[in-house]
Amino acid sequence: MIKEYLLDANIVIRIWNEYPQLLNTIENRKEIDFKISQDIAGELAIKEFRNINGVHVLTDKFLKLLGHIINNDGFSLKGHTENSCIKQDSNNNMYFVEGYKISHNDYSLIDICKNHKEYILVTEDKKILESAKIVLDPSRVLTFNEFLKDLNSFNVL
């Protein structure tokens, strides 16, 4: 069985900064994998454009993510009752999970994990973290340090 992690943008950036070879190492292991949502890839792409001789190109480290990008599958609050812990604002771009205000992109990470039981969400964002623990089984939500400890059990670090 493969253990699959869904990484938030800040986690990817932190890995790039602190553990530059970690994603390559994970990629070369059969028992673990990582995924990036399409929305998160879009956020990262904006930060990873470089101008080389007047041509905009993406960095190599971003290009290495391409095989790990997953579709968001579109989501809505259908199936949630009026008494649900999840509410949407009138503009449909912010979500409230028991009082935690999170963006559409942030909620989409939780929704992906809700619809794909194989994914474990990794984030350092406190609002996403707390919201995800309400919607998902808390064992399927990790902080960066918990993620590193989990990887240690696979002798990755």
Query: What pLDDT sits at residue 135?
Result: 87
In this predicted structure, what is the pLDDT of residue 105? Answer: 82
Calculate the CA 8 to chain-centre distance. Answer: 3
Q: DSSP characters for 7-46?
A: E-HHHHHHHHHH-TTHHHHHHT-SSEEEEEEHHHHHHHHH
Torsion sign, CA atoms 73, 38, 121, 33: positive
What is the fold of 3-152?
A: Rossmann fold (3.40.50)
Instruction: Report, as ranges of residue numbers, the positions in the chain whose pLDDT lies below 50.
Output: 77-83
pLDDT at 20: 95
pLDDT in the model for residue 94: 58
Any idea which residue has 């902080």 for tokens? Answer: 143
Write out pLDDT tens, residues 18-54.
999 999 999 999 999 999 999 999 999 988 888 888 8
> Using CA atoms, how far apart are residues 67 and 1, in angstroms rounded to an integer?
20
pLDDT at 82: 43
Q: For residue 79, what pLDDT is reported?
A: 46
Q: Which residues contact 20 (CB under 8 A, 6 or more apart)?
A: 61
Domain spans of the chain? 3-152
